Structure 1
Amino acid sequence: MKQKKEARVGAERSVTHFLMIPMLGLLAMEIFLLMGSILLSGVITRLRENSDQMLLQQVENRRNYVGNDMLSTWSDLTMLRGEINATASAMVEDGSLNLDLLGPNGSKAGGDQLLTEIAPELISTLYGKRLSGIFVILNTQELSSDFSWEDASFSGLCIRDMDPSAPQSERNADLLLVRSPVKVVRSLNLSTSFDWRPRYTFPSGAGYDFFLQPFQTAWDAAGTLPPQYCGYWSQQPYCLADSNTSSVSYSQPLILNDGTVYGVLGVELQTDYLKDQLPAGELQGGGTGSYLLAVGRDGTYTPLLASGPLSDQMPKTLTIETRKDGRSSFVYGGRRYSAALSDLHQYGNNTPFADESWVLIGAVGVTNLYHFSNYVLTLLTVIALVTLLFGMMGCVFISRSLANPIRRLAERVAEARKSLTDIPDLPATGIREIDQFSGAIVSLSRSVMESSTRMLRIIDMASVELGGFEYRGNESIFVTANFFPMLGVENVDETVMTREKFGRLLKDLDSKLISKSAGKNSRLYKVTENGEVRYIRVSIRQDGNCMAGLAENATAATLERMRIEHERDYDLLTGIYNRRAFCRMADDLFMSPAQLGTAALLMIDLDNLKSVNDRFGHDFGDQYIRCAGQCFLHAAPAGTLVARQSGDEFYLFFYGYPNQRAIRQKINRLLEAARQESIDLPNGTRQYLGISGGVAWYPADSQDLGQLMKFADFAMYQVKHTRKNDVAEFKLNEYHRAVDSTESRQEFQEILNEGRINYYFQPIADARTGKIRAYEALMRVDALTLKGPEQILRIARKENRLADIERITWFKAAEAFQHLLEQGKALPDAMLFINSIANQALTARSAEEFHRRFSALQPRIVAEIVEADCMDSDCTCAKRNVPGFSGMFALDDYGSGYNSEKNLLELSPAFTKIDISIIRSIDASRDRQEIVSNMVTYAHQRNMQVVAEGVETPRELETVIDLGVDLIQGFFISRPVAVPPMEITAEALELIRGKAAEKAADSARNAE
């Protein structure tokens, strides 16, 4: 035992012993320095240049990393924006979204459904791009310079992920709603943050540039700029109202196809998250370097954020001086820093915000950056000094060596302080006194940990002091003094509480239990004391043998939920039933026809509402709607169902009458009362209530509620579009005349039955040689009323006959082309492009028949999918699996649809055909040229060939060849004909060959 103890003590060294070895090494270094001093002469300048170059290279590398995230990941919102626009357009088309309600201070329910529909895509993008936040703000009103921000609020949705680097949690538990209407909160089942608000507000009159700049730029451009050109990076970190979370954002406007700007889509990057992307520790200078993300140019910059030492006291402005030798530096806090700058280029040259240049600055104190060169210079000076001076330097070196173990120990202690549950594991230094000290720290930490863990879980679950309990293993259960009093249980001694006793007390509380979650992790109790009712929610969490619970007063939230449930059936503006309640109650009535007798459904649309809104604002429009709702409620007979359907439309259902005449009397009285109602306008005039309505009768017109609504709506719009301010009854003959003409449908059926569809062929030529590489089969129709393929497809969709069109196209196009090949009227090695409907595919039986008849032709067939169609992954898979299929796809009309990039990734085509709308007049449009150039680069990197469609002039042909397209199609090459030519037009062929000769000459000159 004594020998072991001596061995252990011998392994440690005293401070004296610790100092002796470095001193001996110092003597050896002295000899080395004397011998190498000659070699060091003249290298100081090169050392400093190397330090500057290394700093610049580190900043460039970090710029490439951050810049790639900014340009390729964070700011690439094209797919998401397209999906949102598609959803909004569909909702506007079916009437579920009224753009007039999306302006400032508009109806709170104006965009709720839209926000609910797009929320899953926002969450998916938030996770996919590892963002700390994503948001949408809705608005359809111009934000001019005199706009009052302090009085405005906007509907929107903001979702944040406080830890984007962590994996996606189950059920999105790591996401928080920061801005969202109450209705959307309930539908998304996401937690709200402490600074949650139902709408966006800017009470300070500032901090709204991330919303204003892209929106107003798009508004002023009036549809001349694509949304991505209006993208805007916020120039300063900002915090939302009542929030202390600082963020930087990138946002783009939301624009419909008709040019309507209806909001802003953006991503948030919390400044802390951005700082993590700028690890200053990688810079030179021993941890003293800092990264600064700044805005400006020409030597003057405004920092947005900083990492490293400068993050604590970030300068408001920086003036950077650049010397003739290219070195840059600035002075801050009395200290000079060496700086390396690299532009981020987050805006294109032709974008509205191209002048707002962002730059990444790497800053290291001059002393720290040139530490090594200065150290070498000092050594050269020391060589000339006396031995005493050199000995002093040795002492400094030894003291630094002594400080390193202590520093590492201090850093480990600092890291351990960040954890509330882990006991620090301190490294051994090999110095007896210090190791004894670190051992005492570990022992003390263990004692503190054991005494603090009892309440740690309860504190994690709430930010305020609440009642709670905790059970760990076989120990007695710990209960706070106020836990049972909150639940109305008195005279409980929590100091002697056991798990069994605690379980019995909870079971006794079942009489007060009013709800329990499916997983039994949350219970709601109703407690009545002294006539006062309160609701207590108890949440329980179990982790292994440890169980913790939290009791909180949920009275306010419970009462609010009960109030919302009570009011869900009532329209908030008018106080009458909403559509949901009306349909439910009407369905109940139709389940018992005996109650209905003779009934009538009156559908009403308010006249002049748009005029009131446009002239006096939506507040008076709401007053106009409210006046109408109250009038209908009080003027209608008792028992009548009165409801607001949406916007300015109302339902009134009269039932239980003996005949139609009795109901007409009631309706006439209601109309007389409505004509007497009015509101006072700001200009001193009165606006009387004007209504247009339609009546459908039960059971005369229909015995189905849905059909009655349809008939009443038809009758109402007949009045609305003719005379207004009147009510008309439904007439079946007028309804039938308004239905789509059957003549076109009949001819469509005859065309399909008789096969009166033919195909012309248009050549597709090689852009380098002019040789015809393929033919595209184009549909031609022999019909009187149907004028083209577009009308055929439109009726086919209505008649659910797209599958027939798909089959006819494949079989007849292949049959006609094979006939041409057999007669020698088409190039034998040319491919055949067949237009295929994106959401249709041949049946297995038809695919086998096609393979049997055209197996020799199949290796050269390209399935051409129209990009604007709705892509169906199942149909795409079925096309790929057709026996004998070449596997070649072509994406047609690229750039004309909403989901171009998504379709491109999903289809992985061999050919991408750029839409004629982009090719037309491309020789005079730099923007279109840039789009095609980018597409060519992208396609060639993925082994795709690019086809330029619709080339109609020599200038267009020259331009697309210069841009690098592979294939060309259009009238200038050849028009579509029944028997296609073997060569393209002479003029086009001469131009292509001339271009090829020019490129060959340029290559020869470059080789020389």
Structure 2
Amino acid sequence: MKTKKAQPILKRILIPMILLTLMEVILLSGTFIYGGTIQELNQNARGIVQGKVKNRSSYLKNEMLNNWSNVSYTAQLINARAEELETEGTIDLDKIGSSSQECYPLVSEISKYLIEMIRSNKVTGAFVIFNTDDPDTLRNQENFAKPGVYFRDLDPDTSPSIRNSDLLIERGSVDLVHSLDIATDSMWKPQFEFQKENPETRNILLNPYEQGLLNTDAKSLTEVGYWGKPHTLTDDDKKMISYSVPLVTSQGKVYGVLGMEITLEYLSSMLPSDELMSGKNAVYLLVIKDEEKGTYETAFSSDEKAIPQGSKLQLETSNDGYQYLDLDSRHMFIDTDYLQLYDSNGPFESDRWGLAGVVKERDITEFSRKILHYIALAILFTISIGIGGSIIVSFMISRPIYAVSKNMQRLNTRKKIHLPRTNILEIDQMERSIEKLSSDVIDSATKFTQILNKASVRIAGFELDFKHETLFITDEFFRIFGEESITTKMLDIHSFQKQMESFDAYKVEESDGYALYKIAYEDRDTYIRLSYSELDGQRIVGVAEDITRTIQEKQLLEHERDHDLLTGLKNRRAFQRLMHQLFAKGEDYLKKAALVMIDLDNLKQINDKFGHDYGDKYIQAAADSFRKYTPQETVIARISGDEFYLFFYGYESETEITKLLTKFRKGIAKEYIILPPMQRASLRMSGGISWYPRDSRHYEQLLQYSDFAMYQIKHSTKGEIGNFDLGAYHSEEYISQNRRELTELIEREEVEYFFQPIVDAHTGKIFAYEALMRGTMPTLRSPADILSLAREEHKLDKIEELTWKIATKTFIQHVRNRRISPECKVFINSLADYRLSNQTLELIESECKGYLDHFVLEITEDSQANQEAMDVKRVVVNRWNSDFALDDYGSGYNGERVLLELAPKYIKIDRSIIFGIHINIDKQKIVENTISYAKERNIKVIAEGIETEQELNKVIELGVDYLQGYYLARPDGMPPLINKFTVDHIKELNEKMTMHEEIDRDAE
């Protein structure tokens, strides 16, 4: 741990005085800066900008609402004249938007109204556009043109000309131009042309026109008027904003729009940005906020270079409520005052127009920054005076203390010290205390050295003081390292370090602050632990200790932990740890290797006949033989009583290891122990070999393979050591896997049931479903495989229990979820030689109450019936009011006997008989006889396994009652339905059969 570095007395006095001066300055300046004065100055500057924006906004709003959008009177004059001309038959308002000729009589009459409106409202232009087409149709067109008239006055502030020479015609027919003594603009066109790439130009016509159609009962034109965003006429370069309203007759007929324009050039003269902040770059913006999207769009900018027209602005609101705009790495203050051009709940209220003033935040805070600059200069001046005074006062105080310090540095700390007096009371008292402390320390060090020399543990210490170039060391320090000739009193720091470097050859461990030495001393290994630490960066203190006894005890414990007490070989834990270390080094280190698992033969017989003492001798002899007949680097371990592991590694080929194993087996064959009465008992063992990397590169898998190989030897030839056989392993593993999966399938109920329809052969409707089992295990899925393995493992009773629990539960769920009709029955396979336990019967009767009579127990004819089990089943069938079905009838040799004993309600003819029945007369005869027998005893016959239309036709012709098979529907987890085509086909076959029977009866 590092200590705080010592400081001179001058520094110790000077620093607090300087800090005191700084604190006074900070308190004084902080009172001004953080008292809110700077913030108030900045807020006042922002307030001035806000006031100017609000005043200019009020002026602009007045112009836009009272002058520029004041079109009602002109619209009334135009509408009145249009109705008069239509009444006279001069124009047809239904066709007025089709051509310039149709609208010319009206245009020539109303041109004076438009010129008067330009003069009175002081706008840069006025226009009328005629239209009678549907606005939605026009929006879908790429381009279209409309007739009308457009006058422009680029300087409305000048006095008007009596002859209108200050006006230009932007749009109007040739006839109109000839009739008026007004010049045309260079971009004049006879009609208004609208293009899809200029949507805002279209909007000045379509938006108000559409609202005129939708709001014929509007009280005023302001409700349907539209302020157009910046746009240009086709092929014109003058950008403008406009206000347009629909032209509507007193009968509610909409035939065009009337509007006024304000060019952005004229608008710029009304928004002088210099007034925002004198001598600074500031910008007036006319912005449009889309309330639905929350976006800001610039309709006009007084400085196009700073903020171009059409820019999309992203505003950020600060914690104090002000809004800011980051533009090209410039932080701008922005204040917006909204104009409220539209009525609330109007069609265009989402377009919220506003006037914004934008000023650099740096210009806003310029005055407060100057104030801060003056404060900073005052602080620097105050600090300079304070530090100068502190230095002078500190020097006067520290001078006598400095003199004492210099005297102490010249003293020899190994001897008792004496200091000259300064005649300052406090300092002289400190010098006396130091002299006494020095005397006490020397006395204590002498006593401590004497105590160490008397201790039972060999221990010694040292201290290196690099600042004062001094060394403290106990007398016995180097004797611990076996050096008797070194005299510690003659050493200094450098000679001590050089001597310690000579011991580096004996280091066995080293880390930060620790070193362990192993030194041969007095015919034995001596272990010396050196612990040291650095103090305050200038001293090193250390202790040397003889820990030989501790190391030996630790080695003994580790040996007992990792070795078998009987044989001295490594035990299981040590073997596993060593193997993991070896395999971590990889194939380059292991090269070719073999893991041999050995099991001693005849150990149990020796223990039983001669006792465990001789059994231990047998184990010890085997262990000695393993050491004797294997290379020294071979890893040998005793894992349990008679089980051993041998690991051969680091060989270039498997052939080398094979030769060693051959030598090993021959050597073992020669070994024996003497048993009473003086008889030889040869060592016998069985083993298995797995090869690295041929069989596997993983230790755990090699272990498993060698265990399997030994298992194969133990259960075949015995007394041999055989190689691992992957084919035999996989075969055995597959069988074991199936057995494990069967157990898991039963315990975890890992089965599901698919349902296949049983169809009425007369109506085509579903009469019942058969529940068919499907396994969900990785390798155990087929019902045949499950039943076959269950029969081998004597677990068919478990399968019977599982079938009825899951099949009935699944059926009830399908019925309640309306996937199966409540009238349908369900056929469930049941083994004739097994019965359900009382517990399972109680569970089914409890959970399936109300559905028990729907269950049909399906018994296979080739099952070996158990009389007791069948008696129980009959009792259950009677109690449930259900029935038996005989499955796979005709596939066995005792069908008639089972039929008589079971007396079922249903007989299911096996698919082997149904297959190809339409071309096999013998099969047809068997079915006819079965049906004849069944009808006499009121038994229903089911033909299962129908896969073709021909088989279906034949069994219906033969007279079966029900049908089942892939042709009708495949089994599925979601109970399938019968398609309408198949149902209609079955009905048609039955109708034909009925008709033939009637014809035959009539013939008789």
* TM-score, scaled relative to structure 2: 0.34
Choose 1 or 2 for highest CA Rg. Answer: 2
